[in-house]
Amino acid sequence: MANSILRARAPGRIDFGGGGTDVAPYCVEHHGIVVNAAINYYAHGTLEPRDDREIHLNAIDLGQTEAAARVDALTPEGPLDLIKAGIQRVAPDRGFTLSTYSDIPLGSGLSSSAAIAVLTCSLCTHYKTGSFDQAAMGHLASAAERDDLNHWTGKQDQFAAALGGINFLELVGDEVAHQRADLTERTIRQLEKNLLLVFTGKAHLAGDIHLDILADYKNKTGTVLPGMHGLKEVGRLMRAALRKGDLRGFAALLNDNWGYHQMLHPSCSTPELLHFVQTGLEHGALGAKVCGAGGGGCVVYYAKDNERPRLVSAIKKLGGHILPFSFDTEGVVVW
């Protein structure tokens, strides 16, 4: 049991290919393939031990506080529902004060919620046992969100936050086979040089569209199932392209992913998002896709060599906010 103050951080992520195939029932019936990368935008947390069993929560960026007499008195609802669900999954046997904030923009599609969930589970597990396993925290955070809060989610976001790095994930039912990409330094430098991450200024989808997607998937008469198959193939091909250092192929697959993504639900795309993507492709981008669920949030572009400044200028004229980033290689850490 920790007796000193614990601090932690967990990264957000960019989903490059295959996102959505990590969600049941698709990953159960067909298995999913996802390529994503953790980036240096973080959820942060500080856990201060108490001598009683009380739990005090302070979400600094949300302006929300809450307290309970003990872990089992927490009610997993409201703005802090994911934090409380994570705490109850771990169930530390001594009280604490947990303060959190995030520099991952809310509504960006960069997985701020999974980062907070992984952060909470890791801090509480370290507090309770003195250590934690990163992959286990990915599973635990996913269970808190999916099973306890009944959110429709897969595991790619949680594993990016837990493991860090550029990841190749295969998702079969509840299992996650994860491989670090182990790309060459040249490939990583080229990615960081030519990728551009832009927040459109409008929050990504927060509506309850998953029932529509599930209905379409199950009746197999619409576009969801072929869209999912296409996304999975993009993940497979993108993994191969990155291993070979074929970044033109990688960029083209960003375009393919965005095309298949739009087959999942009409609200994944908006005229504004299409304008952002098309403007980028007309001003130096080889490839582009929307991050996360779509409907808003961030767009990630891959620029032609030396065309990034022209791309930046065009996107700024649309009102896009450039989010400079580098890859996170550590995943969740507690100190």
Q: What is the DSSP string of 5-40?
A: -EEEEEEEEEEEE-TTTTSTTHHHHT-EEEEEEEEE
Q: Poorest-confidence range of 56-60, 294-298, 310-314? A: 294-298
β-sheet bridge partners, residue 34: 169
pLDDT of residue 331: 98
67-85: per-residue pLDDT in tens?
A: 999 999 999 899 999 999 9
Distance CA 129, CA 95 (A): 14
Q: For residue 167, what are its two tokens?
A: 């990841």
The model carries a pTM of 0.95
Q: How confident is the model at residue 206 (pLDDT cuts 50, 70, 90)?
A: low
Nearest to 132 by CA among 8, 262, 316: 8
Q: What is the mean pLDDT of the chain?
A: 95
Residue 13, pLDDT > 80, answer yes
- Chain centroid to CA 266: 21
Q: How confident is the model at residue 173 (pLDDT cuts 50, 70, 90)?
A: very high
193 or 204: which leads in pLDDT = 193
241 in the Ramachandran plot: left (φ > 0), alpha (ψ -120 to 50) or beta? alpha
pLDDT of residue 1: 43
The burial of 321, by beta-carbon neighbours within 10 Å (0-12 exposed, 13-18 middle, 19 or more buried), is given as middle
What's the whole-number mean pLDDT along residues 222-226? 94
Residue 2, pLDDT > 70, answer no
Nearest to 94 by CA among 63, 59, 130, 136: 130
